C-alpha cells in the first residue's frame, strides 16, 4: 500500500523531494494546493512534471469517507467517517457567527474509560493516523464549501472528539504541525486546543514539543474519590500531580489553561464542589468551562437543574475565575460533549 501524502508534515515533504532529487520548491506549492486551497484533485500547476509523476506513483491521496451527516437544529454538523478498515469515527462542526470550530477525533474509541462519556463505553480500538486526523479537517471543510457555500471557515480546531489525543501523541503532533504550517492551512497556534483527561506521559511531551497549542484539562471533580469514578486514570495520575505539572508550564502572554467541568446532578454539582474547585484553581491562568451533562443511551447520570448550574457558577465567581456555562450544541443528534460513539 502506498503511504499517504497527508501523513507528511512540511519538513517530511521537503525531505522526500530532496531524497528523490526533485525540486524542493514543490513543497510550498503542494502544501498550498492541498491545505490552503484544499483542492481534491492532484496538483499540476506550478510544479515540474517529474514531481507530479512521482507523487502520483508513490503516494495515496485518499481521505476518510463521509458515511453519514447529521445536521442539528442549531446547525451543528456531526460527521460519521468510515476508515479504510471499516472502523468509524465522529467529527463535529460547531457553528459560531458564521464560522466554525471543528472537534476532531484522535482515536477509534478510547482507553480512558471515563464514566460520563459515550466514547469511553466503546473501548479502545486503535489510534488514528495523521492522515485520518487531517482528513477529518479537509473533508469537513469541503462539505461546508459544497453545502454551506461562503461558510467554509474553520477558525478553531479542538481535539475533543473521540479518544485521548495525548495518548496518540505522535499522530496528533504531526497533524498539528500540518494545521499550523504557514504554507498550508495556517491555523494560528492559539486556535488549536488539545483536551486531555490528564494523561501525564503525553502532557509532558505536549509542553515540550508543541508549545503554544492550547490545553484543556478535563477536571470534573476536585475530590479524588469522585474524580476516580469519573476519570479512572486519576488513580494512576492524580489531579494534584497533573495540576502541579501544568503550573510549571510556561504560557504565552495571552494563553491560559481551560478546565472542563461536567456538571452531574447530585454528584459533583453542590456548593462544596464549587468551593473546592475554586480553591484549587484560584490564582492560576485558568478559564473554566462548565458543561451540563449531556445524556446518552445507557447512562445513569443526569443533568442538574438550571438553578443549580447557575448557583455553581456564582460560587466560582467569588474566586474571580472566568467561568462559562457552555450551552449544549448538537445534543439532538448526539453531537454534544461526551455523546460521541461511532456505533450510533
Ligand atoms: S472523555 Fe475523552 S478521555 Fe474520557 S473516555 Fe471520553 S474520549 Fe476518552
Mean pLDDT for the stretch of residues 287-294: 94
Q: What is the pLDDT of residues 5-35, one digit of tens each?
A: 999 999 999 999 999 999 999 999 999 999 9
Mean pLDDT for the stretch of residues 101-118: 94
Which residue, 102, 253, 78, is CA-closest to 179?
102
Q: Any idea where the domains of the chain sit in the sequence?
A: 5-58, 65-333
Cα(296) to ligand 1 centroid in Å equals: 14
Cα(196) to ligand 1 centroid in Å equals: 8
Which residue, 340, 331, 275, is CA-closest to 303?
331
Strands 154-159 and 286-292: unpaired
| 98: DSSP letter | T
Q: Is the pLDDT of residue 199 over 60?
A: yes
Percent of the chain with pLDDT over 70: 95
**CA distance linking residue 252 with residue 230, whole number of Å:** 31
Contact 312, 269 (CB under 8 A): yes
**Annotated catalytic residue, options 43, 110, 176, 337:** 337
Active site residue 90: yes
Ligand 1 pocket test: pick from 106, 121, 127, 197 the residue with the most ligand atoms within 8 Å of its Cβ: 197
Q: Is 9 helix (H, G, I), strand (E, B) or coil?
A: coil
Mean pLDDT for the stretch of residues 268-277: 98
According to the model, what pLDDT value does residue 344 have? 42
According to the model, what pLDDT value does residue 36 have? 96
Cα(287) to ligand 1 centroid in Å equals: 20
Angle between helices 306-317 and 271-281 (to 10 degrees): 30
Cell numbers 492532484 correspond to 42
Active site residue 151: no
Mean pLDDT for the stretch of residues 270-296: 95
**Annotated catalytic residue, options 43, 90, 117, 303:** 90
According to the model, what pLDDT value does residue 297 have? 79
Cα(230) to ligand 1 centroid in Å equals: 10
Percent of the chain with pLDDT over 90: 82
Atom of ligand 1 nearest to the CA of 120: 5
Q: What is the pLDDT of residues 44-84, one digit of tens each?
A: 889 999 999 999 999 999 999 999 999 999 999 999 999 99
Atom of ligand 1 nearest to the CA of 110: 8
According to the model, what pLDDT value does residue 93 have? 96
Q: What kind of fold does domain 65-333 have according to CATH? A: TIM Barrel (3.20.20)
Q: Is the pLDDT of residue 132 over 70?
A: yes
Which residue, 222, 297, 234, is CA-closest to 261?
222
Taking the alpha carbons at both ends of the chain, their separation in whole angstroms is: 30
Task: Return the C-alpha cell found at 242.
Answer: 497533573
**CA distance linking residue 157 with residue 102, whole number of Å:** 5
Contact 73, 146 (CB under 8 A): no
Q: What are the CA-CA distances from residue 253 to residues 129, 212, 224, 256, 285 (Å)?
A: 33, 10, 31, 9, 10
Average pLDDT along the chain: 93
According to the model, what pLDDT value does residue 337 have? 58
Pocket of ligand 1 (CB under 6 A): 110, 112-114, 117, 119-120, 162-164, 197, 218
Cα(322) to ligand 1 centroid in Å equals: 24
Cell numbers 458543561 correspond to 291
Beta-bridge partners for 81: 66, 89
According to the model, what pLDDT value does residue 125 have? 95
**CA distance linking residue 203 with residue 211, whole number of Å:** 11
Atom of ligand 1 nearest to the CA of 116: 1
| CA quadruple 152, 81, 172, 139: dihedral sign | negative
Contact 7, 1 (CB under 8 A): no
Mean pLDDT for the stretch of residues 152-160: 93
Amino acid at each position: 500500500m502506498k503511504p499517504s501524502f497527508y501523513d507528511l508534515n512540511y519538513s517530511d515533504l521537503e525531505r522526500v523531494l530532496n531524497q528523490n532529487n526533485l525540486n524542493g520548491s514543490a513543497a510550498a506549492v503542494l502544501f498550498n494546493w492541498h491545505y490552503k486551497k484544499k483542492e481534491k484533485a492532484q496538483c499540476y500547476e506550478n510544479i515540474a512534471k517529474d514531481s507530479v509523476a512521482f507523487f502520483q506513483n508513490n503516494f495515496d491521496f485518499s481521505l476518510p469517507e463521509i458515511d453519514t451527516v447529521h445536521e442539528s437544529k442549531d446547525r451543528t454538523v456531526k460527521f460519521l467517517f468510515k476508515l479504510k478498515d471499516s472502523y468509524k469515527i465522529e467529527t463535529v462542526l460547531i457553528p459560531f457567527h458564521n464560522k466554525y470550530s471543528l472537534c476532531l477525533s484522535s482515536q477509534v474509541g478510547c482507553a480512558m474509560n471515563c464514566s460520563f462519556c459515550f466514547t469511553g463505553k466503546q473501548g479502545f480500538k486503535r489510534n488514528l493516523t495523521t492522515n485520518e486526523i487531517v482528513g477529518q479537517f479537509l473533508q469537513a471543510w469541503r462539505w461546508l464549501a459544497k453545502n454551506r457555500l461562503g461558510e467554509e471557515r474553520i477558525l478553531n480546531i479542538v481535539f475533543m472528539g473521540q479518544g485521548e489525543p495525548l495518548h496518540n501523541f505522535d499522530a496528533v503532533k504531526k497533524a498539528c504541525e500540518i494545521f499550523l504550517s504557514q504554507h498550508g492551512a495556517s491555523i494560528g497556534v492559539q486556535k488549536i486546543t488539545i483536551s486531555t483527561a490528564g494523561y501525564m506521559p503525553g502532557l509532558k511531551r505536549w509542553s515540550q514539543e508543541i508549545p503554544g497549542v492550547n490545553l484543556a484539562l478535563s477536571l470534573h471533580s476536585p475530590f479524588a474519590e469522585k474524580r476516580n469514578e469519573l476519570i479512572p486514570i486519576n488513580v494512576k495520575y492524580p489531579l494534584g500531580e497533573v495540576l502541579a505539572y501544568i503550573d510549571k508550564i510556561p504560557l504565552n502572554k495571552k494563553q491560559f489553561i481551560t478546565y472542563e467541568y461536567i456538571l452531574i446532578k447530585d454528584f459533583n454539582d453542590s456548593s462544596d464542589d464549587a468551593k473546592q474547585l475554586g480553591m484549587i484553581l484560584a490564582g492560576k491562568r485558568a478559564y473554566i468551562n462548565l458543561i451540563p451533562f449531556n445524556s446518552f443511551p445507557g447512562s445513569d447520570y443526569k443533568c442538574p437543574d438550571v438553578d443549580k448550574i447557575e448557583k455553581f457558577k456564582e460560587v466560582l465567581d467569588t474566586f474571580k475565575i472566568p467561568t462559562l456555562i457552555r450551552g449544549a450544541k448538537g445534543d439532538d443528534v448526539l453531537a454534544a460533549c461526551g455523546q460521541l460513539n461511532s456505533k450510533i
